[in-house]
């Protein structure tokens, strides 16, 4: 496929007007929408911003490659844009960005498009091409530069393949000896989207290796699947392994090799450093875990202890949430049905039963997937059983009918995960012939025995007492304390709008709801989560001169997102103006959360926003809490936010 079929001339922007990152994204996305490349501006922009939140696509040297792959895209396209003045795009080198390549890939992009996108990405590590692009004056210039670069690369690739084939024949010849064999290393490149960074890292590593007289084979885990897969022979004869990846890759195959595990951007920006360290065998010796794709304790170099704990916790919560939402909503609907047809109706019994059955899996699933995040697949079963034990009354050990509950489930997940990590460490030196017994015999039996023992004799008794005390306190809590707690939880929902604070507040409310069946705190977090998008919607409606045209459009959609309890609708606003948006949202959300407790509002559903209003007790006050919190936050934002500067 000719790369010019992706770099459409009529889509290019040769004089980008934006001066900030947010404005640049708005201008680029809007150009796609105007040209018919995307049919939903907000959906595509949401994924662009989500990708930027993971790590900046400003890769340095004046280049940024924002990209997204979703159903809003009608055809695979690369939007080239040039800014003579430069834009502060949070680039890794801190320098302004002059060249933008916004990649749009449809969900069903075929391999031809993906290969072309990969080829385009790999060309951008050529400094001569980048320098020429900065001087380009017309779309025709841009297309011709890429066409020439692509032709040159294809010719070189063909020559390299021929040389590699000739070398393979020489190595196979029994009479040949070669005492000047170049060092050989292997690498794996991968990024979450698999469109740009994966192939840029591959190209940068190969180019640097050639300059250093080093042989390298790079496996890419991109949108079109795994390419240039490393064989066992490749790995065995390699001096070491370089992993430049921002997602999980198969790791066990590198057992016993010196291994560097770095972000994908390091493959693009630091190829010489990675190759030198690999040749010097500075990477830790990697020890396989016996589970597909798992990493050992030696493979990480950059994550803090807290970030690991948070990632493990979020893995459990994200897998638990479908049970929470599905079961909770059906249970809530069953209560509505009960008021009409009675508690003995088949419809009520059916809906309520399904909801309760789904809820019975909450704590086991939470524990199981926390454990899996830590110890991989062998930790699933002991984590699941530990979570089930936390959900079972501990009356046989202590004089209580309480269960260890949500807190016990959290403990079960972390215990099971680290028990498996410990077992992997203890059995790491077993003979290779016994490797098959570890996941089939040793880990399941010993893991279950140890986790079961700890849960039965220690965790369940202790956390049953704690859970009982917490439940008793919450039930007997006075109005003043309830208002304070509701205020705190409501405010937390708006601090990071889907981040750790938001998840902590929501998880706490879910834990209380599952333990007590009382939806008062669910009301507080529900209101707190609805306020930010509704506040931005109100502000963009009544203070239009303070928002861009794209922000005003997003504000309209935030009315729907807000009443649906989708807090993330406010993230684009918070990303571009965190001070005004977050502070005003926290004030309104905290006020709304406190009001739910003052007015004794209860929402027996874990999700749904205003759509579950018929289920709420004191539903008029539920609506009032939402309206008051949103209006207060919206007015503060509208008044406080400065007006847009008029462009000259």
Active site residues: 67, 191
Output the CA angle 79-80-81, nearest 5 degrees: 115
Pairing of strands 67-70, 77-87: unpaired
Q: Which residue has the tokens 């059906």?
A: 330
Instruction: Please report, for residues 23, 193, 248, 506, 530, the alpha-carbon distance to residue 627 in angstroms, rounded to integers and kept in the order given.
Output: 30, 39, 43, 20, 10
**Using alpha carbons only, what angle is made at residue 364 by residues 359 and 369, rounded to the nearest 5 degrees?**
120
Which runs of consecutive H residues, i.e. helices, occur in 303-390?
A: 305-341, 346-359, 362-375, 380-390
Cβ-contact 97, 130 below 8 angstroms: no
Q: If we measure between CA atoms, which residue out of 39, 48, 43 comes closest to residue 75?
A: 39
CA dihedral 616, 617, 618, 623 (to 10 degrees): -10
Contact 264, 270 (CB under 8 A): no
Question: What is the spatial distance between Cα 205 and Cα 189, in angstroms, rounded to a whole number?
Answer: 10
> What tokens were used for 339?
């008021």
Tokens of 443: 């880990």
C-alpha span between 386 and 363 (Å, rounded): 9
Q: Which residues have CB under 8 Å from 401's CB, separation 6+?
A: 393, 395
Q: Give rounded-to-5 percent helix, strand, coil for the chain.
A: 65, 10, 25
* Location of structure tokens 């309830």: 482
First to last CA, the chain: 42
DSSP structure class, residue 427: T
Nearest to 130 by CA among 61, 28, 198: 61
- Residue 183, both tokens: 């060092």
The answer to whether residues 238 and 245 touch, using CB atoms and an 8 Å cutoff, is no
| Alpha carbon distance 518, 509 (integer Å) | 10
Return the DSSP state at 95.
P
Q: Is the dihedral of CA 304, 306, 309, 311 positive or negative?
A: negative
The candidate with the shortest Cα–Cα distance to 216, out of 250, 251, 189, is 189
* C-alpha angle 473-478-484 in degrees, rounded to nearest 5: 95
């Amino acid at each position: 496929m000719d790369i010019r079929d992706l770099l459409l001339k009529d889509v290019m922007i040769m004089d980008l007007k934006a001066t900030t990152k947010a404005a640049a994204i708005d201008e680029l996305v809007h150009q796609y929408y105007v040209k018919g490349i995307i049919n939903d501006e907000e959906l595509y922009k949401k994924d662009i911003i989500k990708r930027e939140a993971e790590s900046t696509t400003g890769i340095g040297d004046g280049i940024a490659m924002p990209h997204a792959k979703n159903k809003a895209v009608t055809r695979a396209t690369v939007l080239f844009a040039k800014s003579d003045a430069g834009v502060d795009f949070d680039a890794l080198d801190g320098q302004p960005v002059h060249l933008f390549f916004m990649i749009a890939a449809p969900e069903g992009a075929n391999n031809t498009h993906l290969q072309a996108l990969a080829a385009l990405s790999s060309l951008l590590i050529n400094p001569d091409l980048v320098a020429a692009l900065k001087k380009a004056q017309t779309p025709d210039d841009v297309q011709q530069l890429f066409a020439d670069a692509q032709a040159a690369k294809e010719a070189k690739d063909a020559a390299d393949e021929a040389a590699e084939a000739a070398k393979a024949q020489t190595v196979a010849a029994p009479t040949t000896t070669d005492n000047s064999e170049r060092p050989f290393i292997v690498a794996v490149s991968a990024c979450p989207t698999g469109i740009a960074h994966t192939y840029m890292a591959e190209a940068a590593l190969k180019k640097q290796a050639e300059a250093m007289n080093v042989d390298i084979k790079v496996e890419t885990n991109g949108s079109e699947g795994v390419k240039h897969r490393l064989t066992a022979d490749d790995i065995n004869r390699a001096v070491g392994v370089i992993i430049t990846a921002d997602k999980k890759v198969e790791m066990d195959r590198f057992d016993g090799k010196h291994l560097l595990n770095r972000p994908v951007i390091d493959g693009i920006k630091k190829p010489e450093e990675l190759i030198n360290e690999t040749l010097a065998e500075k990477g830790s010796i990697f020890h396989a875990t016996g589970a597909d794709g798992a990493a050992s304790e030696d493979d990480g170099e950059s994550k803090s202890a807290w970030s690991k704990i948070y990632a493990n916790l979020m893995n459990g919560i994200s897998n638990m949430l479908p049970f929470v939402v599905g079961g909770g909503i059906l249970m809530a609907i069953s209560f509505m049905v009960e008021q009409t047809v009675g508690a003995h109706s088949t419809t009520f019994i059916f809906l309520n039963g399904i909801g309760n059955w789904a809820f019975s899996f909450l704590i086991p699933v939470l524990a199981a997937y926390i454990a899996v995040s830590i110890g991989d697949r062998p930790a699933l079963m002991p984590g699941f059983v530990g979570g089930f034990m936390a959900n079972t009354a501990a009356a046989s050990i202590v004089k209580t009918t309480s269960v260890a509950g949500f807190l016990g489930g959290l403990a079960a997940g972390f215990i099971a995960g680290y028990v498996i990590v410990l077992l992997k460490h203890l059995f790491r030196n077993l003979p290779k012939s016994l490797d098959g017994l570890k996941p089939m015999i040793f880990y399941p039996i010993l893991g279950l025995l140890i986790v079961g023992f700890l849960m039965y004799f220690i965790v369940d008794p202790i956390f049953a007492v704690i859970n009982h005390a917490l439940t008793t306190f919450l039930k007997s809590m006075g109005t003043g304390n309830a208002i304070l707690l509701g205020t705190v939880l409501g405010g937390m929902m708006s601090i990071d709008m889907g981040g750790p604070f938001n998840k902590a507040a929501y998880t706490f409310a879910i834990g209380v709801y599952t333990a007590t069946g009382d939806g008062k705190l669910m009301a507080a977090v529900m209101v707190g989560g609805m306020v930010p998008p509704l506040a931005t919607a109100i502000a963009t409606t009544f203070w239009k001169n303070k928002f861009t045209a794209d922000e005003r459009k997003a504000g309209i959609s935030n009315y729907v997102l807000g009443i649906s309890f989708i807090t993330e609708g406010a993230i684009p606003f918070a990303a571009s103006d965190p001070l005004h948006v977050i502070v005003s949202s926290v004030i309104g959300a905290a006020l709304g959360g406190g009001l739910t407790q003052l007015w004794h509002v209860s929402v027996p559903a874990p999700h749904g926003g205003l759509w579950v209003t018929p289920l709420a007790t004191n539903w008029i006050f539920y609506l009032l809490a939402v309206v008051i919190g949103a209006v207060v936050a919206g007015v503060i934002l509208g008044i406080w936010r400065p007006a847009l500067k008029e462009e000259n």
